[in-house]
Amino acid sequence: MSAGADGGGGAAVAVRSAEGSPGDDSFVPSALGTREHWDAVYERELQTFQEHGYTGEICWPGPESVNRLINWNNRHVPLRLANIFIFCGNAIFFVAVAKFGFSNITGIDYSPSAIQLSGSIIEKEGLSNIKLKVEDFLNPSTKLSGFHICIDKGTFDAISLNPDNAVEKRKQYVRSLSRVLRVKGFFLITSCNWTKEELLNEFSEG
Ligand SMILES: C[S@@+](CC[C@H](N)C(=O)[O-])C[C@H]1O[C@@H](n2cnc3c(N)ncnc32)[C@H](O)[C@@H]1O
């Protein structure tokens, strides 16, 4: 597995304890690390979409991070071959990537409302060749496998803030990543909580 670390940001901004060092459980646990939080967020966004047709906004970092990812991908994997896996959230980032012409994209989130919202937005945008699945990445189904590229913007950050044994959950994330990616697959991550060096260290065992 190859890790492409982007020192940008995402939505799950964390506070670190003063003594924290890479690999420690040094993040202060937060509601941003819980499923209850994300279910509530996407239920609200889904309701807003259903009532007003508002699709929401791409979380920071925005479109420029999509361009960086696409340019990076273009240099490494032919678009027509790529089988891509993305953590979709409210689908705005996901749709921006899909519009660049990848033909085979799978989006997952553990929140059913996020997947329902993403499905509605994809339909509105008229995009095809996109599969959506409710999946907990810390316990992925066997069907989730064989991807050339995995793109994460904010999900590893959220998992790092889980109040219940975040260290083990981060290790499980790395194990799940190894399962879903092909041998020599690429992992592209955008994080607002981890430095590039910390991410490379965290994912070195994958
Ligand atoms: C900061 S948001 C980022 C959403 C999206 N990637 C974006 O860029 O807008 C974190 C996302 O991770 C999802 N998430 C957190 N833990 C997860 C898990 N174990 N499995 C699947 N999705 C998870 C949340 O539901 C939420 O949509």
- Antiparallel, parallel or unpaired: β 104-109 and 130-134: parallel
Q: CA-to-CA distance for 201 and 191, rounded, in angstroms?
A: 14
Distance, CA 87 to ligand 1 centroid (Å)?
A: 6
Distance, CA 193 to ligand 1 centroid (Å)?
A: 14
pLDDT at residue number 71: 76
- DSSP-derived letter for residue 80 is G
pLDDT at residue number 103: 73
Q: Closest ligand 1 atom to the C-alpha of 162?
A: 16
pLDDT at residue number 9: 33
CATH number of 11's domain? 3.40.50.150
pLDDT at residue number 175: 96
Secondary structure (3-state) at 6: strand
| Full domain range(s) for residue 135 | 4-202
- Predicted structure pTM score: 0.86
Nearest CA to ligand 1 atom 3: 154
Helix axes 112-125, 35-52, angle to 10 degrees: 30
pLDDT at residue number 61: 57
Regions of the chain with pLDDT less than 50: 2, 4-11, 18-22
Distance, CA 204 to ligand 1 centroid (Å)?
A: 22
Please work out whether the CB of residue 110 comes within 6 Å of at least one atom of ligand 1: yes
Please work out whether the CB of residue 111 comes within 6 Å of at least one atom of ligand 1: yes
How many structural domains is the chain composed of? Answer: 1
- For 80-93, the three-class secondary structure string (H helix, E strand, C coil) is HHCEEEEECCCCHH
